[in-house]
Amino acid sequence: MTDSLPDDILGYRFKNQGLLRLALTHPSLSGRENYQRLEFLGDRVLGIVIAEWLYAKFPDDKEGRLNRRLSALVRGETVAEVVRTSGLDRFILMTPGAEQEGTRTKVNVLGDIGEAVIGAIYLDAGLDTARTWILEQWASLLETDARTTKDAKTTLQEWAQARGSILPAYTVLDRSGPDHAPVFTVEVTLENHGSASASGVSKRIAEQQAAHNLLTQLSDGGPA
């Protein structure tokens, strides 16, 4: 572990540095308070901020679609992606044993850390500041998941079912990059209707983008 923490965290400077240290402290450090209570708080703050953003962004969406969008953007894997791509994972405080077990790269730990940092910012500066920080860190995911792909996997599945086709099949073609910043390449195949591939920082994002690419091909006059 390391006790060296940044002066600011992805553009936010804490007034109370103790909150930042707490948010980055893994439970393996017995005898110290850890991030778990902040994680509980941050999860709720993240949920309300993203829900508010979706409510304003998609005024025509019904509750079910809003819920699907929300689930995709606040799930643990998504929070872990934000932590990995930002480099926040390198500041997690843990025991050498936890380090050797690969704890720093575990999706559930990275997700917990991301939520704990949000909770810490909320306590340090309030909801408006937490909202600004979340929307900045989630910007690319908001665009990719909530606008461009528009739950493309579900749309592609519905497209196939409407035509009596076998459901789409997803295959991981490649995984590259270091453990803390992997890149997945996924191909989606729809029998008798073609295939498409895409890359992303998680299998979920790559699958969504691949589905979006195949839908685009089909709408442009590909096999139908």
Instruction: Let me know if 136 is a catalytic residue.
Output: no
Instruction: Let me know if 8 is a catalytic residue.
Output: no
Residue where a domain terminates, one of 129, 147, 165 = 147
Residue 164, in any domain of the structure = yes
Question: Which domain, by its residues, includes 174?
Answer: 152-219
For residue 184, give the CATH number of its domain: 3.30.160.20
Residue where a domain terminates, one of 147, 173, 190 = 147
Residues 156 and 61 in one domain: no
What average pLDDT does the chain have? 86
* Catalytic member of 115, 145, 151, 187: 115
Say whether pLDDT at 148 is over 50. Answer: no
Residue 5, in any domain of the structure = no
Residues 120 and 192 in one domain: no
Cα→Cα distances 171→153, 179, 190, Å: 14, 20, 12
Residues 94 and 158 in one domain: no
* Catalytic member of 39, 43, 112, 124: 43
Residue where a domain terminates, one of 147, 177, 207 = 147
Say whether pLDDT at 1 is over 70. Answer: no
For residue 82, give the CATH number of its domain: 1.10.1520.10
Give the pLDDT of residue 200.
82
Residue 125, in any domain of the structure = yes
pLDDT > 90: percent of the chain: 46
Residue 1, in any domain of the structure = no
pLDDT level of residue 224 (50, 70, 90 thresholds): very low
For 163-184, what is the mean pLDDT?
85
Nearest residue to 55 (alpha-carbon basis) of 41, 46, 65, 43: 65
Cα→Cα distances 163→157, 166, 197, 218, Å: 10, 9, 22, 13
The reported pTM is 0.67
Number of domains in the chain: 2
pLDDT (tens digit per residue) in 38-81: 999 999 999 999 999 999 988 888 888 888 888 888 988 889 98
Residues 92 and 21 in one domain: yes
Give the pLDDT of residue 52.
95
